[in-house]
Amino acid sequence: MTTHIKPALLMLLIFTLLTGIVYPLAVTFSAQLLFPSQANGSLLGTKEQPLGSELIGQAFSSPEYFWGRPSATSPVPYNGGASSGSNQGPTNPALIASVKARIKALRDVNPSQLEAVPVDLVTASASGLDPHISPAAAKYQISRVAIVRHLSPNSVSDLVDRYTEGRQWRILGEPRVNVLELNLALDQHLK
């Protein structure tokens, strides 16, 4: 019996060390060496004062900022530990009510904007954490942001164009605007 237990315990110890200590340390070291920004959360801001991650949306509700997609995480919006969709279908009364409330909020803050509200401003993404909006959603908000910040709509539009990312490798995905990066650029624009 000891002829079977000794090798089994030895293999358990070896694989515990390899898979529980050596491999995680090697992956962590490699990530820190090769991709330090991504390994530390793709944070924006300074090392002393991180302002957010470029990969997770943030709740902006002040009229002087561009607003992102609504978050489906609960109870705290944009909670990375609670990433999930709302699982509400298009005929769900709760979804219809929340979309109507979001449309009303957008219309209340800028009553002169009569265009149709882009769908990504009133519905959450599948993860509930999306940091991007469509260029159409950003353009929808230009007049409000320009009026509140006392900027020309053209200068705000130029910032939106500058922060619009194209398709990945020119074929994957859709053009998009990172809301946090755009809002940080707006704050820098005023300095």
Q: What is the 3-state secondary structure (H, E, C) of 59-93?
A: CCCCCCCCCCCCCCCCCCCCCHHHCCCCCCCCCCH
Query: What local confidence, expressed as pLDDT, does residue 21 receive?
Result: 94
pLDDT of 120 over the 80 cut: yes
**Does the CA dihedral 78-57-188-105 come out positive or negative?**
negative
Q: Which of 49, 38, 41 is nearest to 184 (CA)?
A: 49
- Closest by Cα among 82, 86, 111 to 96: 86
Per-residue model confidence (pLDDT) at position 57: 79
CB 113 within 8 A of CB 131: no
Q: How many CB atoms lie within 10 A of CB 130?
A: 22
**What's the pTM?**
0.76
Model pLDDT for residues 96-107, shown as the tens digit of each residue: 888 898 989 888
Give the pLDDT confidence score for residue 15 in this predicted structure.
Answer: 94
Note the pLDDT of residue 70.
Answer: 86
Residues of the chain above pLDDT 70, percent: 97
How sure is the predictor about 190, in pLDDT bands with cuts at 50, 70 and 90?
low
Q: What is the mean pLDDT of the chain?
A: 85
For the cut 60, the answer to whether the pLDDT of residue 191 exceeds it is: no
What confidence tier does 173 reach under pLDDT thresholds 50, 70, 90?
A: confident
User: Which of 158, 154, 167, 147 has its CA nearest to residue 185?
Assistant: 158
| Secondary structure of residue 52 in the 3-state scheme | strand
What pLDDT digit, counting tens, does each position of 3-60 carry?
889 889 999 999 999 999 999 999 999 988 888 877 777 777 777 777 777 778 788 8
- Band the pLDDT of 2: cuts 50, 70, 90: confident
Q: What percent of the chain has pLDDT over 90?
A: 25
